[in-house]
A = this chain, B = another copy of it.
């Protein structure tokens, strides 16, 4: 049984495709944890299908996700990071510009009423205003969590690299506690769309387990000179290799995954063509971490580590830094 009396924070990692809620106790200990497929895309669909105002649909999603916690704990602060703070989210939290010091105390959180007189505090994302701008929402909090979990790295002034795989993966350069710049790859979302709707789906049979041979093969193709072209020009091989009897239908999904992740990595690594790639931390779920770590190994990238649970840690860290936790204990 969760000891609700110990709860000091309700923390939400609310992204594009899923929403995760943490009930946190002293020192950031996770007392309870939940995940629902209530990402902002789904909430937007719910609003459309049920002809609801978007705010109402988000309110309903919040209730479903952790309404019981907030009702039982009316004085416990609630914090969130992720796409819930985007223009398609619940309340837009203005971006802060990169370079962005993640340890700042002067962070303005957006707030929105969630019922019972309680407010949700939403952490702003980061905007990199380069020629092709990039934005993140949630990943900045994961990075802060990762830095928090590993004080040794965080004291270092060496450049390091964070990879946050997901619907839209982020590659982030960090120095100390500051995000220098970053890039976004739409690999995850495009992979899902090609797998579900494209001609490739027609020869794609579900596999019972990950087929790592097929995945590695896809990565190697993207690393080869033949595969060193835009992924639009290699993806069709996930069909033609089956047609020519050189790939099983159950291998197509993992082959395509390897091909796309491999293309992404090849493109990103161009930046360090003549230099050593900085120490790299992958912060994602277990499955995606494993995929990217395998692919990076095939690309001979050294100094790669994986971390999970960075979002909860980062949410706790922000709540603590901006004084949300003290406020509730007054």
**Contact pick for A193, options B197, B267, B268, CB 8 Å:** B197
CB distance from A23 to the nearest CB of B (A): 29
Residue of B nearest to A224 (CB): B131
Asked whether B243 lies within 8 Å of A135 as measured between CB atoms, the reply is: yes
Residues in A122-162 with C-beta less than 8 Å from chain B: 127, 129-135
CB distance from A114 to the nearest CB of B (A): 23
Q: Answer whether residue A260 sits at the interface, using C-beta atoms and an 8 A cutoff.
A: yes
Max chain B C-beta neighbours (<10 A), residue from A16, A135, A233, A266: A233
Asked whether A168 and B270 contact (CB < 8 A) given A232-B260, A233-B185, the answer is no
CB distance from A251 to the nearest CB of B (A): 15
Q: Answer whether residue A329 sits at the interface, using C-beta atoms and an 8 A cutoff.
A: no
Q: Answer whether residue A320 sits at the interface, using C-beta atoms and an 8 A cutoff.
A: no
Asked whether B134 lies within 8 Å of A263 as measured between CB atoms, the reply is: no
Q: Chain B residues near A133 (CB, 8 Å)?
A: 237, 240-241, 243-244, 246
CB distance from A246 to the nearest CB of B (A): 7
CA distance A235 to B243 in the complex (A): 30
Q: Answer whether residue A202 sits at the interface, using C-beta atoms and an 8 A cutoff.
A: yes
Asked whether B134 lies within 8 Å of A236 as measured between CB atoms, the reply is: yes
Q: Answer whether residue A2 sits at the interface, using C-beta atoms and an 8 A cutoff.
A: no
Q: Chain B residues near A203 (CB, 8 Å)?
A: 87
Q: Answer whether residue A230 sits at the interface, using C-beta atoms and an 8 A cutoff.
A: yes
Q: Chain B residues near A227 (CB, 8 Å)?
A: 132
**Contact pick for A198, options B186, B235, B260, CB 8 Å:** B186
Asked whether A202 and B267 contact (CB < 8 A) given A131-B226, A186-B236, the answer is no
Q: Chain B residues near A268 (CB, 8 Å)?
A: 229, 233
Q: Answer whether residue A234 sits at the interface, using C-beta atoms and an 8 A cutoff.
A: yes
Provide 26 A-B residue pairs closer than 8 Å at the C-beta atoms, listed in order of the A residue: A16-B199, A41-B199, A88-B202, A132-B240, A132-B241, A133-B243, A135-B239, A135-B243, A167-B199, A168-B236, A183-B233, A184-B240, A185-B230, A186-B232, A186-B236, A189-B198, A189-B199, A190-B190, A229-B270, A230-B231, A230-B263, A231-B231, A231-B232, A232-B267, A233-B264, A233-B268
Q: Which 3 A-B pairs have the closest CB atoms?
A: A132-B237, A230-B267, A229-B267
